[in-house]
A and B are shown apart, each in its own frame.
Chain A
């Protein structure tokens, strides 16, 4: 027998009150854990995905939407931009590099991105097997896509139009897997990369006669599937073609000031900065996060109060017990310690349960939402801040036990035991 065991016995002697308090505290801490995990991973991810991209250019519309679609591949693209105009930008002295992208197709919810080899190079992606695309309709799968679809190098599949599952299939041309990327931990894992030409040809083959307004096909397309596609820069074509977005790297800091203004006022396109738009998004989400944090703090406060009341009430029943402990040799300090120990053990259990609950919540959220942004989060990564959650919880425990512990300290044995 020792003090820890004795505290434990007292806690388990009141299982209902103890578990209620533990659960309440755990709930509050679970909310904080989820917020912590999401915030940390989201910000890290968002910054990782946007690393090296100074500016995104696309059709006019919402700049936030442009960023979400162009960098993170979450939202719908804003529309198409003519390639001539895009190519003009590449001659701008403020631009160091420009990566063209054609978006708008998917395979079972995974987005197919038409681009050049600079794009995987931007994320320093390396191949697990096969090679990067060289011919039209060759694709490279992100690690997650390969895992979920089970495709290997050499397999073929049909893409679908649109960016969500269930839209009509492009049945004219089959994509062929040329390579599979190693897991990168960023947006590439959930993408299917191919050449811009592949995207164009897919749509050409389907709608040769009634072409849409942005793509003015005046002449017949001669698709030569053996022809090499452009590995760097813009695809070479004599026709008037369209792109969806451009990812731009600045040549110098001056560009950050001049280039967005030049594009926004001088062209039919718009330019948006990922860091600026994401800061704006976090500001918008901040209200919700603050609200949730407030709620969690209130729940933790209530659980602290619950622990205080439970300890204080049990103390009334236990005045005799405490007096007996003194009579058999316990010192005042030991009784003080006993009550503190109970509060601290209670909150420690709450903290551990809360953290596990938080991670479980997150993994449930993720499993419900595999294709979305949340789907890329890792629920079982433990952060150093979670240690702080334990510290907070223990602080709550100590605070809640101060008054009961002091009352225990002051119990007069003589008065308690000998009054009939």
Chain B
């Protein structure tokens, strides 16, 4: 198994304990995490990305136990092996498109994919030197996907990546995530409640609040 999580639990202060379903994925596989708002989908994503520490359970990626890494090691490991696509693109406004992707290379200390090629595959070939402020929402989301892919991670996590996009762009984004994950041999997990995504990825787990 490339990626697995077992019996992870987390409690937000003043709220009921969340117990998450186990996940196991091989390279190139994709999975949807479904659930109502407030059910803890995003919390699961944060836990899987190592942004939050689980109270119990184990998360393993490429044979490494996330809980065993200290702060700085975890940051670097995340940079190298986990690509995250957020609900909003959150690009660095001070930098242009290419520089945004270069930051991923710099902080992860890993030369993953060639940036020009990657941008080309995502239909952003002409945008490398553009300011991120001039991009449309769909383009910006694709740039953020490119950023997540730039280091060729082993795991791609996407948090509601399509919620603010129209049908056409939503489909493009999901297809891109799938094909790119397959291409670089990464496991793909998409957290969503978007029906349009389900059509493309049959595998799913559901998060329920207890």
Contacts and interface: CB of A to CB of B under 8 A. Distances in A.
Interface of A: 1-2, 6, 9-10, 12-13, 320-321, 323-334, 413-414, 417-418, 420
A331 B107 CA distance: 8
A9 B95 contact: yes
B103 interface: yes
Contact of A1 (B46, B52, B76, B105): B105
Interface-centre pick from B99, B107, B151 (highest chain A CB count, 10 A): B107
19 contacts: A1-B102, A2-B106, A6-B94, A10-B94, A320-B90, A321-B92, A325-B103, A327-B51, A327-B86, A328-B78, A328-B147, A329-B75, A329-B109, A329-B151, A330-B107, A414-B52, A418-B42, A418-B159, A420-B87
B45 interface: yes
Interface of B: 42, 45-46, 49, 51-52, 71-72, 75-76, 78-80, 84, 86-87, 90-95, 99, 102-109, 147, 151, 159
Nearest to B73: A331
B92 A418 contact: no
Task: Decide if the interface of chain B is mainly helix, strand, loop or mixed.
Answer: helix
Contact of A329 (B76, B102, B159): B76
A contact patch SS: helix
Given A1-B102, A321-B92, A324-B92, A414 B46 contact: yes
A417 B86 contact: yes
Contacts of A1: 99, 102-103, 105-106
Given A1-B102, A327-B78, 6 more contacts: A321-B94, A328-B147, A329-B80, A330-B79, A414-B46, A418-B45
Given A1-B105, A330-B79, A334-B107, A13 B94 contact: yes
Contacts of A13: 93-94
A220 B61 CA distance: 116
A333 B102 CA distance: 19
Contacts of A331: 71-72, 75-76
Contacts of B108: 328-329
Given A327-B51, A328-B79, A331-B71, A321 B107 contact: no
A332 B107 CA distance: 12
Given A9-B95, A418-B45, A330 B90 contact: no
B75 A330 contact: yes
A326 B75 contact: yes
A327 B52 CA distance: 12
A333 B76 CA distance: 12
Contacts of B90: 320-321, 323-324, 417
Contacts of B106: 1-2
Given A1-B106, A2-B106, A417-B86, A327 B49 contact: yes
Nearest to A14: B94
A418 B86 contact: yes
A392 to B, nearest CB: 28
Given A1-B102, A321-B92, A329 B87 contact: no
Nearest to B79: A329
A326 B49 CA distance: 11
A318 to B, nearest CB: 9
Nearest to A330: B107
Nearest to A2: B106
B107 A328 contact: yes
Given A321-B92, A328-B108, A417-B90, A333 B52 contact: no
- Going nearest first, the 8 A-B pairs with the smallest beta carbon separation are A329-B79, A13-B94, A329-B107, A329-B108, A1-B102, A414-B51, A414-B46, A330-B107
Contacts of B72: 331-333
A37 to B, nearest CB: 38
A417 B87 CA distance: 8
A326 B78 CA distance: 9
B13 to A, nearest CB: 12
B71 A332 contact: yes
Nearest to B96: A9
A329 B102 CA distance: 12
Contacts of A12: 94
Q: Name the residue among A321, A331, A417, A420 with the largest chain B CB count within 10 angstroms.
A: A417
Nearest to A333: B72
Contacts of B104: 328-329
Contacts of A9: 94-95, 99
